[in-house]
Amino acid sequence: MAARKHFCASISPEAGALIDRDGIAATEKLIRPHIRRTPILEVARRDLGLEAPGVPLAFKLEQLQHTGSFKARGAFANLLTRAVPKAGVAAASGGNHGAAVAYAAKTLGYPAKIFVPSISSPAKIARIRGYGADLVIGTERYPDSVAASEAWAAGAGALGVHAYDGAETIIGAGSLGLELAEQAPLDTVLVAVGGGGLIAGVAAWYAGKTRVVGVEPEGAPTLHAALAAGRPVDVGVSGVAADSLGATRIGEHVFPIALRHVERVVLVEDEAIRAAQRRLWDVLRLVVEPGGATAFAALTSGRYRPQPGERVGVILCGANTSAVDFAP
């Protein structure tokens, strides 16, 4: 891989937080009472129908996190490190982030208003409502929900919590990398990418000590397109994972971290994502949503081929799906 320009894995000082190992470690201690330390599951590759049977895969079962996805980490990081006004919090989301913010707000005693596009799954909408948030279902596009959320927060004086491009959101996601590093020695970690908050947090924690590889649907190649262009660019979004990996542009704070610490990004087809979902269910009886299976799809499709003896971790990042029905 060609050398890349060196960037500092941090954001502007006025944002009030640095995205680095010290910040992640300090925030992890703060949010620890409110999040689960999700387990890992080591599985022989031959059991999964993969090559190189001598080295097991380490699945990070983050779909078991509160609200069914890793997003609870960033939600609590925001609400515990920033001043929350009387008006409460506002967020735009494809579903998982909205559920996490609603849950964190309910836990900590704040009102929450969540804006989601119409493509959000019924399972995610039900979770948000179940946590007592005021839910606004808007148009089909996620960026429109972001604009509506930001406008409402500005008018109401509420705290806006970004789904992936806030410092605290990224730092909270980095706590997953901290956990995984403690649980399993790995050479490579495969991470699904939407707006990039999860991969930025994980990559900031590992800081080049472990290989981090992004995996995106072909219908939502936000980081892949940004790395090719040398800057964040808008992309079209479609496909089975659009409600969780459907950001139209990689985060501005995410990009320099990815440029420095993400080795590469591979793209997978929708069919491969569905096949990975089915294999996780058929072999391990694990239920994950399409976005949650995307990182694993890099292996089942052959888009990422580990070297002999390579220790690979796969983050299963979400499970908010309505039913165990993976028929084509």
pLDDT at 1: 33
Query: What percent of the residues of the chain are helix, what percent strand, and what percent coil, each to the nearest 5?
Result: 45, 15, 40
pLDDT at 8: 33
pLDDT at 278: 95
CB 294 within 8 A of CB 241: yes
Which of 144, 160, 176 is at the close of a domain?
Answer: 160
Indicate the number of domains in the chain.
2
Which of 96, 128, 160 is at the close of a domain?
Answer: 160
pLDDT at 15: 39
Host domain of residue 127: 71-160
What residues of the chain score a pLDDT lower than 50?
1-16
Q: Is residue 84 part of a domain?
A: yes
* Packing angle, helices 290-300 and 270-284, rounded to 10: 90
CATH number at residue 148: 3.40.50.1100
Q: Which residues have a Cβ under 8 Å from the Cβ of 319 and sit 6 or more positions away?
A: 63, 64, 68, 69, 287, 288, 289, 292
Q: Is residue 325 part of a domain?
A: no
pLDDT at 51: 80
The answer to whether residues 77 and 201 belong to one domain is: no
pLDDT at 325: 55
The answer to whether residues 76 and 174 belong to one domain is: no
The answer to whether residues 101 and 156 belong to one domain is: yes
pLDDT at 10: 35
How many other CB atoms sit within 10 Å of the CB of residue 118?
12
pLDDT at 14: 35
161-191 in b/e form (b: 16+ CB < 10 A) is: bbbbbbbbbbbbbbbbbbbbbebbebebbbb
CB 296 within 8 A of CB 316: yes
42-78 in b/e form (b: 16+ CB < 10 A) is: ebebeebebebeebbbbbbbbbebbbbbbbbbbbbbb
Using CA atoms, how far residue 33 sits from 29, 104, 193, 280, in Å, is 8, 12, 27, 30
pLDDT at 167: 96
Which of 145, 160, 175 is at the close of a domain?
Answer: 160
Q: Is residue 326 part of a domain?
A: no
Angle at 244 between CA 240 and CA 250, to 5 degrees: 110
Q: Is residue 8 part of a domain?
A: no
Q: What is the pTM of this model?
A: 0.91
Q: Is residue 292 part of a domain?
A: yes
- Please write the tens of the pLDDT for every residue from 68-88: 999 999 999 999 999 999 999
The answer to whether residues 193 and 59 belong to one domain is: yes
The answer to whether residues 257 and 284 belong to one domain is: yes
User: Residue 226 carries which side chain, given as an amino acid letter?
Assistant: A
Using CA atoms, how far residue 63 sits from 101, 162, 253, 275, 291, in Å, is 16, 20, 25, 18, 11
